[in-house]
Amino acid sequence: MAEQMGPFVITRRRFLEGATAAAVLLAGCGGDEETVEGPTGNAPGVKFNEPDGKLSGGLKILMWSHFVPRHDKWFDKFAQDWGSKVGVDVTVDHIEVTGIPTRVASEIAAKSGHDVIQFIAPLPQFEPSVVDMTDVTQEAARRYGKQIPLCVKSSFNPTTKKFFAYSPGWVPDPGNYRKSMWEKAGFPDGPSTWDELREGGSKIKSDQGIQLGIGMSQEIDSEIVGRSLMWSYGGAIQDVNENVTINSPETVDAVAFMKELFEGAMTDEVFAWNPASNNQGMVGGKLSYIVNSISAYRTTQKVNPQQANDTFFVQALEGPAAALAAQHVMYNWIVPKHAENVDAAKEFLLHYTENYARATWESELYDFPAFPKRVPRLNAWLDDDPFGSEPRDKLAVLKSALDWSTNVGRHGNANTAIGEVFGTFIVPNMYARAARGRQSPEESVAEAESQITPIFEKWRRKGLIGGAA
């Protein structure tokens, strides 16, 4: 008896016995040819399950160039090894992250291109042009347990009842701070609130000549941290019913705070940053604090171990209303409707999820799982970092990341309107206008509302979001 799931078939026996029953070890532990560098003896193996249906043809994958470079060398071989086992010719193209949304749009317009595309933020605005991934998501949940709500809210549209993307993983967004600098400013454990960030960051800039790094430019990190500040003050772009709520006293207060933070602790360069700028500034010793994943830290470990030992992490900063951070990265894998090998794309994503522990390892603990059972040793690794942190438990703060992380569509899901707002940089522009003195906080928030409201109305007319008629 077989259970049909879209274009591919899952046998009842395989579903009942689980994905590991037919496992075949393709790669051993760390130190094998797939591991680029780093510790040996701990890396998870790679498991392989034969697809139920015969696969053939090619599979073209497009994805970002990972901020932890060893991941991409591993991934390319991993994908090609799978292809050789199932009879699919796999090619993987990596491009700089900022180019992916434009590339997606151009391929959709041309109705030609890659079969499966990965981005590091939700892509709900492309829902009309992509394959519904409900079958893959449900099958993964049957095999691997419940998907975390953070990833569900970042890939599921409750209005259409469709998964516009498949989300097997995510990345936390802690604060990264230089301990020696913050000790001199009177905060030996770094800031725990936004007010402490302003106080300590301003003192470090005046006394030590080092600014902090909170972006207000047209790039993804500025998008993310701006939302975190807004939520921590009690503001939000939308409510649970998908109505626009950004123009509130809470959002105005958040924008006013950002202006004060900029004037006391930053310089004009934050208005022209790209996604790598805060990483580069932290690695170069030019910033006292950033909100980012652990990628800058991993780079610093390699190029300046002494400075890496001086880099520590804090969870989301507390504001007047909450202590919340957006996820730093939210992996969205989409299959465009023009894809020539949908079957292989879906089977590969299940294979990738099966082996997510290896993805976490090869990303040097950057990539966290959407299905926690796939990486059972994650907390142990965070308590005793196999990639050489000093002290060894430096990353233990990330064990609680789900408690203080939320999705970019808070209080609702990452719907098509949220996707377009995210992709057009309305939020960082809102902060930047006020910080530069070009508008008052009230005026800048009102302008953001005037830009966001038509976007919501457009998608509401198309039946892709809820809210007021």
Condensed to tens digits (0 to 9), the pLDDT of residues 56-104 reads 999 999 999 998 999 999 999 999 999 999 999 999 999 999 999 999 9
Could you tell me where in the chain the CATH 3.40.190.10 domains are found?
58-171+329-395, 175-327+404-461
pLDDT at 270: 97
171: DSSP letter: E
CB 406 within 8 A of CB 150: yes
pLDDT value at 14 more than 50: no
- 455 burial class (0-12, 13-18, 19+ CB within 10 angstroms)? buried
- Name the one residue in this structure whose structure tokens are 């999705």: 407
Terminal alpha carbon distance of the chain:
46
CA distance 178 to 185: 11
pLDDT digits (tens, 9 = 90+) for 157-170: 999 999 999 999 99
Report percent pLDDT > 70 for the chain: 91
30: DSSP letter: T
Mean pLDDT in residue range 225-236: 98
pLDDT value at 129 more than 60: yes
pLDDT at 41: 53
Q: How confident is the model at residue 418 (pLDDT cuts 50, 70, 90)?
A: very high
Q: Torsions phi, psi of 195, nearest 5?
A: -65, -40
pLDDT value at 213 more than 60: yes
Task: Report the run of H or E that residue 443 belongs to, with start and end.
Answer: helix 441-461
pLDDT at 38: 53
Mean pLDDT in residue range 106-113: 97
pLDDT digits (tens, 9 = 90+) for 369-414: 999 999 999 999 999 999 999 999 999 999 999 999 999 999 999 9
pLDDT value at 309 more than 70: yes
Q: What is the mean pLDDT of the chain?
A: 91
Q: Which of helix, strand or coil describes residue 239? A: coil
323: DSSP letter: -
Mean pLDDT in residue range 228-239: 98
Mean pLDDT in residue range 220-247: 97
pLDDT at 468: 81
Strands lying side by side in the sheet with 116-119: 89-95, 58-64, 116-119, 332-334
CB 101 within 8 A of CB 114: no
pLDDT at 422: 96
CB 113 within 8 A of CB 340: no
Query: E-strand spans in 86-232?
Result: 89-95, 116-119, 156-157, 162-163, 169-171, 175-178, 211-213
CA distance 428 to 128: 27
318: DSSP letter: B
Residues 6+ apart with CB under 8 A from 432: 216, 217, 271
CA distance 364 to 308: 15
CATH for the stretch 175-327+404-461: 3.40.190.10
Q: Which of helix, strand or coil describes residue 193? A: strand
Residues 6+ apart with CB under 8 A from 404: 315, 316, 323, 324, 325
Q: How confident is the model at residue 177 (pLDDT cuts 50, 70, 90)?
A: very high
CB 289 within 8 A of CB 176: yes
Residues 6+ apart with CB under 8 A from 441: 252, 253, 255, 256, 259, 434
Q: How confident is the model at residue 53 (pLDDT cuts 50, 70, 90)?
A: confident
Point out which residues pair with 346 in neighbouring strands. none
Mean pLDDT in residue range 425-440: 98
pLDDT at 5: 37
Least confident of 9-13, 173-177, 313-317: 9-13
Q: Which amino acid is at 452?
A: I
pLDDT at 39: 59
pLDDT at 9: 40
pLDDT value at 105 more than 50: yes
Using the CB atoms, write b or e for 358-379: b if 16+ within 10 Å.
Answer: bbbbbbbbbbbbbbbebbeebe
CATH fold of the domain at 58-171+329-395: D-Maltodextrin-Binding Protein; domain 2 (3.40.190)
